[in-house]
Structure 1
């Protein structure tokens, strides 16, 4: 059984993962749409920048976030004008998680958009449907399972984020200490083995469940596009 403190860690992880997913999903969809449908100079560079958090060490991403959101940083100065700070707060952990999850969400959503048969859109336009109606009645429904799969994958990545989070907002119990950070802290204690086992089991269960849901949604997206 989890202790009260461990339940708090689980709740904080779910909060951070949920907020990160909701905040990043509109951005992920917009980027996926641009990469899937637009042709422009620098598209390859944009694609590389979106994927970058997956290939650079997470500590580097956390350091860049720290520079951006520090009091002297561009984002930090803007937030200071609003009386807001994300350093050493759960909101900062959500930002780090969102940045790290974004590439996975973009990739899943982009694949679902690219899989939509453009001939269906062309036929709808020939019948008089406007651009937004085509998007709302054809593109969005057919790509929705892929969008949901991207959201679930992003959530799974968010609750497993470690390196960028600890670099950006540190490991503050009750504020930024999510499941991975709590497991790391427990590993540093001689008597922390039991805590590690319990938290690791919760982490594996959450991640496995998210991956299964994402796979089911991806298969549904494939059947929907093929009309099966």
Structure 2
């Protein structure tokens, strides 16, 4: 079975995000970029399924700017077999919206015919949490989101999902779309030999026009603001005073 794993190039999670002076968006100048952490988890899960003999090939795909090739090489170094880069923007500040990404991925699925798509549940830059669900809808496939455990049993995937009330286990018939949550696994580090080998693995370059998908944005960012600074705390003299502040000032009681 072939596995398809979409990955996204985002600001590294260790970097403090800066807002542009004019509030038009996030400043990306000289900022370290890396693979979206949830996508990294999805790649790791695909590799583990291959190591178990469930999968025969892992294809990673990224939609965005040409620099996303670096992100794909990271996935190849982790253990993916080949990669597809779909250039859909010239400016790194342009975020391709989930519907356009889902349409492009649906076209890749039609060409590659994978038995399973494993994606990160969301990207840490826009927190949309929509691409996987949209892809499943476009394909007419079953979906299992927020996966914290995945097992393949015959022609079905048994997925444990993290929900507000605890854990939920579902079965979806393959082919299907699964989105990875934070506790699904701990991604491995790419070794130096594998990093060198990744440079020789095939990376196919495509454009959005090759798939006939319009990636023009439908949303407009009106303004971007940094979170308000945290206010200084206060000391209370008694439990009664604490309860009064929580009730009258914080409004949490």
TM-score, length basis structure 1: 0.24
Bigger radius of gyration among the two: 2
Of structures 1 and 2, the one with the larger relative CO (CA 8 A, separation 6+) is 1
